[in-house]
Structure 1
């Protein structure tokens, strides 16, 4: 038997007055997810633990059976690996945003209008950067999907114990990066980053891509904001840990990077953005083709758009995206045979919060011989009455591999 963890990133939410005190998932028309609930066993899940607000990175690590408190060193290395940078021990990696700054250094758009094109050309210029006084430090930029990018610092005397430059909200200057542990390595890294942020604006504010965006009334991607520093971690290969042949199907560099660190085969797709405008048909066709025609027997799948809409506080976009996933993707997954599908989210991204929250997320397991419960809808409230009750993300691989017939007995 095959198995799949299908993560709808940021799917969970909180009730909204404009939706008659329903969550976006409750209010959405999802006949195929409801059919999955009717055929399967349901419940709710804390990705890490009750009340803990998970990042997408720590949540996915937990879902794959890793203890994020042991293996998580920061988001940057996963992002960098996911977009194809060969990070090595000693590297310090960061996730970055292409952002928009005005002449006074104020960030006016943290995501540069969710730029979709031209970032590679901007990165080509940034990769010529040399910081005065730190000529021995190699600076590596790589574009990811949309407004996302990665940065890797390579050289002697660096540390991942530094704060973020991200101001979190528009209307502020980038935060001053500071060393967090008082070490000379951390202070050195912080100084490099502060100079790098300033220099990135100087280097690309007049880039042709940005001048064209300004002419078109779009926010230019004229500054880089690094965050999520981390040193390269060591991760036990998931194929050895659970005796599976695994593959990762994801849109964003972060999730592909987690898959790559876990030793999974990365199945790349075209025309996917990680946003509500992504090509769900390509995602669907890739999933179906891999399940039916590949030798892989375990899949990690991530569909990201609901999370983007949640961060934007856009209930309409989130609701409509959930409905599109149901219509385009779930309708076909219902037809798959000889596979256990664990449908869930990595975390909740409530519209009212515009960020992740510690609210538990809904879960379903579909597949042969599951103990079907009485739940007939897939939303945060209905599944709370389901037969799986309340579990943690760390339980998922044990449950799934037991159903798949891959688990081993504990004891005589």
Structure 2
């Protein structure tokens, strides 16, 4: 038996007036998922434990079977694992986004955050910007590391875990009241603007009509993680396919194989087909039992507030990942179970994550049923099926031995 999770990050949403009161998942043309729903179990699952922040970190840990209350030590330490930073017990890791702030004569505190991803800046461009920051700001106590696209890392030696605002929660707002209370971190953010605002990379981006990446933003502080082995825990040999450092870091911590797909970049135009092929290969050619296929695009489109592009990202997931992967697995004759779900909602109306339960679809190639469901939030709720502890979903997936 082979096992697959296809995770559409932030895919769940709320009804949208311009879509006739439907969610993007409900509105999107998803013939593959709807056909699967007709022979599958659907329902709702609560991935975010009560009282915890609704993040991709806690939610994806839960989907992989790790209770966030037991295993979560912060988002950035997981990303540090992916980048290859060997954290000391006294280190604090922080996410270091390169964001877009308004460019005017207003004091730094009065600037408005326009884009948490700087127009999904390329890693190559971001690395040049981070190098300029490193030359001015890095010390023995504060070290910068290049990640992917706008997502980078700061390691604070003998630091503190402090509460820091997530940039995607501050979109369209003046940043003053959301800046760090720690004076050094706040000063580094302010100085980064002066370093980056006129950098040649940003001058070139503005000439092309792209958002400049003109300030650092620190968030997601945490300590070194300690995940138990996925294989020892589940008796399944597992692999991860993701363009996002967070998911790669979870895989490193859990002892899973990380598969790098050329052209997979976490954007709307990622290499969907490459992810599907890589998933099929690791299961059917390399003999792995389990693969986790993570697609970031629906979440990014939710943060951008783009209804059209979020719908498009869901349609791409359906037709360019799930469809081809299902065909390859079915053609192999190997029995398999496939779980399709988001990690959390990223509703267009708020442009950030929420803790609402998300719809799941569980397909078993050897146990076809006959239902009238389609896969979306509304019908998942109507099914009456509900899993209250998201970290139990992986056991549910593996229960079909």
* TM superposition score normalised by structure 1: 0.87
The equivalent of 1:143 in structure 2 is: 147
* Counterpart position of 2:202: 210
Q: Give the 3 Å change call, closer, same or farther, for CA 138–353 of structure 1 in structure 2.
A: closer
Match of 2:119 among 113, 117, 137: 113
Matched with 2:160 is 159
> What's the RMSD between the two structures over aligned residues?
2.3
Q: Could you give the per-residue CA deviations for residues 101-133 of structure 1, whole angstroms, max 9, x where no partner exists? A: 4253224533323322511112222333446xx
Q: What is the Cα deviation at residue 260 of structure 1? A: 1.4
Correspondence list, 1:305-320, <5 A: 305-320=297-312
**Counterpart pick for 2:340 among 332, 338, 343:** 343
1:402 paired to 2:399: yes
Q: Which residue of 2 aligns with 1:244?
A: 236
Q: Note the C-alpha offset of 1:50.
A: 7.1
Q: What stretches of structure 2 of length at least 5 have no aligned partner?
A: none
Note the residue ranges of structure 1 that are not aligned, 5 or more in a row. 179-189, 406-412
- Please report how far the alpha carbon of residue 138 of structure 1 lies from its aligned counterpart in structure 2 after TM superposition: 4.0
- SS state at 1:128 partner: helix
- Output the CA distance in 1 between the equivalents of 2:295 and 2:118: 22
Structure 1 residues 36 and 165, CA gap change in structure 2 (3 angstroms): closer
Report the equivalent of 1:184.
Answer: none
| Matches for 1:239-278 after TM superposition, within 5 Å | 239-278=231-270
CA offsets 1:190-233 (integer angstroms, 9 cap, x no match) = 23312221232233333221222233333321211111111112
CA distance in structure 2 between the aligned counterparts of 1:317 and 1:333, rounded to whole angstroms: 23
In the TM superposition, 1:250-399 aligns within 5 A as: 250-335=242-327, 336=329, 337-370=334-367, 372=369, 374-386=371-383, 388-399=385-396
Query: Match for residue 93 of structure 2?
Result: 93
Q: CA deviation at 1:270?
A: 1.6
Distance in 1, Cα, partners of 2:212 & 2:348: 26
3-state secondary structure, aligned to 1:93:
strand
Query: What is the count of residue pairs matched by the alignment?
Result: 387
CA distance in 1, matches of 2:164, 2:317: 36
What is residue 189 of structure 2 aligned with on the other side?
197
Quick check: 384-393 or 289-298, which moved more? 384-393
TM-score (structure 2 length as normaliser): 0.89
